[in-house]
């Protein structure tokens, strides 16, 4: 059963790459020669352009982060005491600027001092 799922995924990836390569080739050949005077490209060059754009613009990384990370952090936060939660919130505000902030003094109040 798992092998069938893997084969389906592989086939879908191949089909998607083939279609995307075809789309990139036709868009390039339709737009670029007329706008910028560039030459038409082949299908293989379009696939190369697709891969290059993924590397340069999208990077190569796993999408979605670690599975279960959010649930793990929610469970961990739920098991903390109120003092520990406040300490974590204060630390996050100090490091990352996350969480609720105390209202800042207005410019008028600061200049009055």
Query: Taking 90 as the threshold, does the pLDDT of residue 43 lie above it?
Result: yes
Cβ(93)–Cβ(101) below 8 Å: yes
Cβ(63)–Cβ(45) below 8 Å: no
**CA 77, CA 79: separation in Å to the nearest integer?**
5
Q: Which two tokens stand for residue 74?
A: 């929610």
CB count within 10 Å of CB 108 equals 7
**CA 58, CA 61: separation in Å to the nearest integer?**
8
Percentage above 70 pLDDT, the chain: 76
Residue 19 pLDDT level (bands cut at 50, 70, 90): very high
- Report the pLDDT value the prediction gives residue 101, as an integer from 0 to 100: 54
């Amino acid at each position: 059963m798992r092998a069938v799922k893997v084969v389906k995924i592989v086939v879908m990836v191949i089909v998607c790459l083939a279609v995307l390569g075809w789309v990139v080739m036709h868009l390039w050949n339709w737009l670029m020669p007329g706008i910028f005077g560039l030459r038409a490209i082949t299908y293989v060059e379009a696939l190369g352009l697709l891969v290059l754009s993924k590397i340069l613009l999208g990077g190569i990384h796993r999408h979605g982060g670690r599975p279960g990370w959010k649930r793990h952090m929610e469970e961990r936060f739920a098991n903390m005491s109120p003092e520990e939660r406040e300490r974590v919130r204060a630390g996050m505000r100090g490091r990352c600027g996350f969480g609720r902030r105390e209202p800042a003094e207005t410019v008028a109040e600061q200049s009055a001092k």
